[in-house]
Amino acid sequence: MSLSGIAYEFTVQLMQTTVTEAIAVVFGIISVVLANRNHVLLYPTGIISTTLFIYIMASVGLYAETLLNGYYLVMSIYGWARWQKNKENMSAVAISHNNKTDWLVTAGIVAGGFIILYLTLSNFTDSNVPLLDAIVTSFAWAGMWLLAKHKIENWVLLNISNAIAVPLLVYKGLPMTALLTVILFTVAVFGYFRWRKLYRQQHG
């Protein structure tokens, strides 16, 4: 297909975006901007977005991303509760870098998540994109875990997931969500450098 043909198909898909997807995308953008600013409201806005995306991803057969959004939902609730519990203790919500243990857990989440998801999707579902679906989800699982722990490296893991997710979402007919993912990728780049700055301020 030519470039103009691809652009036309993308535009048609965009025009057919459902209200549910549009609402999920808007709250997703708000949540990631708040995460960039290390603001507690990233959690309730994230909860709204991920709840809607659970339904959306299941409806197009992206089963691993359905689980991913379920995981986002759980981690958002966990992160919000952790923040509220420790809001009087600034060190509990201070930004930090991964230590050796954090990297080992991160690698375990990525590798273990990928193996389990790929085998499950390949053998027990009708997914036609098990490899990419599993990769996107396993990296995002690790990134969200690091975000809940306020680790700077969360942005790196999330952007690996985002970069692979964009063409996958377009292929699955979710162009508005793909555009959201491009925005998330851009915000995550700035988020990484912003958190590095905040880290230096908190530990200066």
Cα gap 9→144, rounded to integer Å: 32
Higher pLDDT, 203 or 69: 69
- pLDDT per position as a tens digit, 137-171: 999 989 988 987 889 999 999 999 999 999 999 88
Higher pLDDT, 13 or 25: 25
- pLDDT per position as a tens digit, 150-159: 899 999 999 9
Asked if 174 contacts 56 with a C-beta cutoff of 8 angstroms, the reply is yes
Asked if 177 contacts 54 with a C-beta cutoff of 8 angstroms, the reply is no
Task: State mean pLDDT over 99-107.
Answer: 96
- pLDDT per position as a tens digit, 43-95: 999 999 999 999 999 999 999 999 989 988 988 898 888 887 776 554 446 78
Q: Which pLDDT score, from 0 to 100, does residue 92 have? A: 47
* Percentage helix, strand, coil for the chain under 3-state DSSP, each rounded to 5: 80, 0, 20
Which of 200, 195, 156 lies closest to 36, judged by CA?
A: 195
Q: How many CB atoms lie within 10 A of CB 4?
A: 8
